[in-house]
Amino acid sequence: MNKKQLREYEQIAQRLGLAADPETGVIHGAKDGYAVLLYAPNAKAPRVLQILLAAKREQPLSADEKKTLRANCKAVTALNQRGNLLAASLRGGSLDKTIAAAAEGLDAVVDLARRSGFAACCPRCGREEPAAACDLGGNYTLLCDDCFAAAGQAAETKLQEKNARRENVVGGIVGALLGSLVGGISIIVLSRLGYVAVLSGILMGVCTTKGYELLAGKMSKKGAAISLVVMLLMTWFADRLDWAIVIASELGVGLFESYQAIGQLLALGAIDSGTYYGNLAMVYVFMLVGAIPMLWSALRSSKVAARVCRLGDSNSSAAQL
Ligand SMILES: [Zn+2]
């Protein structure tokens, strides 16, 4: 969570009389006796918030009730009941509009719950126990103490297993080589078909990094470096082989001899070095275009530190992994 975004959530929380979690910015607390939580389900739209309110009623929320609330409160774009949770999506916009929508939406949802006979409860077990916000490895929900103890345990075990998964470097190298082979073949085949280097470069980048990640089990900085070296070498090799095929067919000599002759032909000027290196540089550029987003997202997702804890509970027993 970046500082600017967190400050926004703190402002919203303050206006609502709730608290913002300093790690995730998730806004949580109690309103009129109901446990509530506000968060942005889509990190790319941080001002489009959703309200979760823990409550139950014998009769599920009716379509009329949903419609009436939406008609009376323009801040709410959708209202649904998921088990013992009322979920309301809010309109986003400028910070001021987002704050206003959060205040208006929360009042409307709490008001509806109170007037329509919804009883505060734990969403998971349904008992009328006080529920509070928690972070189960990136899933935000409201749980009573017993449910948190059980669900938290399970989520933590899962998280630990995921983190304990070792990076198999040897497997990763094999994966990167296999992936780069696909990229290398595509460089040759696409070049034979007369296509420019764009697609084969991107394929090289994507296949090599994906190959590493698949067989290594996860991607790390080391994996990124290995993938990059494999890509650079394989692209060099495939590009030379591509030239060797041209030379072999032009001169009617063997592929192996042609491959070996490239250095000499370049030195003699029989192959225009501008064309040769220009083409190679282009493949490299597009290879990076394909590889960088893959490496970036792989490294980012391995860096996200998930945790299992109660929000706003600084001395929780939960491990921060
Ligand atoms: Zn419970």
Lowest mean pLDDT among 3-7, 76-80, 280-284: 280-284
> Residue 314: what pLDDT?
46
For residue 126, report the distance from its CA to the centre of ligand 1, in Å. 6
**Residues 292-304: tens digit of each pLDDT:** 887 787 677 655 5
Task: Report CA(140)–ligand 1 centroid distance (Å).
Answer: 15
- Span 56-62, mean pLDDT? 94
- Per-residue pLDDT, averaged over 21-25, amounts to 92
Euclidean distance between CA atoms 195 and 188, whole angstroms: 10
How far away, in angstroms, is 111 Cα from ligand 1 center? 23
182 and 127 part of one domain: no
**Tally of domains within the chain:** 2
Contact between residue 169 and residue 196 where contact means Cβ atoms under 8 Å apart = no
Model confidence at 246, in pLDDT bands (50, 70, 90)?
confident
Helical (H) or strand (E) element with 265: helix 255-268
Average pLDDT, the chain: 88
116 and 191 part of one domain: no
The rounded Å distance from CA 13 to ligand 1 centre is: 25
Residue 160 has pLDDT above 60, yes or no: yes
How many angstroms separate the alpha carbon of residue 274 from the centre of ligand 1?
Answer: 70
175: Cα within 13 Å, side-chain hemisphere = 24
Domain boundary among 84, 109, 143: 143
**How much distance in Å is there from the Cα of 54 to the middle of ligand 1?**
11
**Average pLDDT of span 66-72:** 94
- Centroid of ligand 1 to alpha carbon of 64 (angstroms): 29
If asked whether residues 241 and 297 sit together in one domain, one would say yes
Q: What is the mean pLDDT of residues 25-29?
A: 96
- Is there a single domain that holds both residue 57 and residue 100? yes
CA of 151 to the centre of ligand 1 (A): 10
pLDDT for 166: 77
Closest CA to 119 of 86, 76, 82: 86
pLDDT surpasses 60 at 318 = no
pLDDT at 316 over 70: no
Please determine, for residue 319, whether its predicted confidence score (pLDDT) is greater than 60: no
Same domain as 138, residue 178? no
- 90-143 pLDDT, tens digit each: 999 999 999 999 999 999 999 999 999 999 999 999 999 999 999 988 889 999
**Distance, CA 149 to ligand 1 centroid (Å)?**
9
Ligand 1 centroid–CA 152 distance in Å is 12
Q: Cα 172 to chain center, whole Å?
A: 22
What is residue 31's predicted lDDT score, i.e. its pLDDT? 95
Report the separation in Å between the CA atom of 256 and the middle of ligand 1, taken as the mean of its atom positions.
71
Return the minimum-mean-pLDDT range out of 4-13, 74-83, 217-226.
217-226
CA of 154 to the centre of ligand 1 (A): 15
- Same-domain pairing of 225 and 274: yes
Cα 298 to chain centroid distance, Å, stands at: 9
Do 195 and 229 fall within a single domain? yes
How remote is the CA of residue 122 from the centroid of ligand 1, in Å?
A: 5
Structural contact between residues 122 and 131, judged by C-beta atoms closer than 8 angstroms: yes
* Paired sense of beta strands 76-82 and 119-120, if any: unpaired
CATH of the domain at 121: 3.30.1460
Residue 10 Cα to ligand 1 middle (Å):
28
What letters, b where the CB count within 10 A reaches 16 and e where it falls short, cover 139-168? ebbbbbeebbeebbeebbeebeeeeeeebe
Q: What percent of the chain has pLDDT over 90?
A: 55
Question: How large is the angle between the packed helices 221-251 and 169-192, nearest 10 degrees?
Answer: 30
Residue 162 inside a domain? The answer is no
Distance (angstroms) between ligand 1 centre and the Cα of 146 equals 6
Same domain for 92 and 26?
yes
| In the predicted structure, residue 321 carries a pLDDT above the cut 50 | no
Q: How many angstroms does the Cα of residue 138 sit away from the middle of ligand 1?
A: 19
Residue 196 and residue 64 in one domain: no
Mean pLDDT value across residues 40-58: 95
Q: Does residue 48 surpass a pLDDT of 90?
A: yes
Range 39-57 average pLDDT = 95
Q: What's the CA-to-centroid distance between 124 and ligand 1, angstroms? A: 5
Note down the domain range covering 42: 3-143
Provide the 3-class DSSP secondary structure of residue 189: helix
| Range scoring the smallest mean pLDDT among 65-74, 210-219, 282-291 | 282-291
More confident: 176 or 253 = 176
- The answer to whether 38 touches 12, Cβ cutoff 8 Å, is yes
| Tokens standing for residue 75 | 């801040």
pLDDT at 2: 86
Q: Other C-beta atoms within 10 Å of 230: how many?
A: 25
Q: Is the pLDDT of residue 215 over 50?
A: yes
26 pLDDT band (50/70/90 cuts)?
very high
pLDDT band at 320 (very low <50, low <70, confident <90, very high): very low
With cut-offs at 50, 70 and 90, classify the pLDDT of residue 196: low
145 Cα–ligand 1 center, Å? 7
Is 90 in the same domain as 193? no
Distance 102 CA to ligand 1 centre (A): 26
The arithmetic mean of pLDDT across residues 62-87, rounded, is 95
How much is the pTM? Answer: 0.62
Q: Is the distance from CB of 18 to CB of 29 less than 8 angstroms? A: yes
Distance from the CA of 150 to the center of ligand 1, in angstroms?
A: 9
- Same domain flag for 194 and 133: no
Q: Cα(53) to centroid of ligand 1, in Å?
A: 14
129 and 18 belong to one structural domain: yes
- The answer as to whether 150 is a domain residue is no
Q: In angstroms, what is the span from residue 306 Cα to ligand 1's centroid?
A: 22
**Which among 205, 203, 216, 206 is positioned nearest to 175, based on CA atoms?**
216
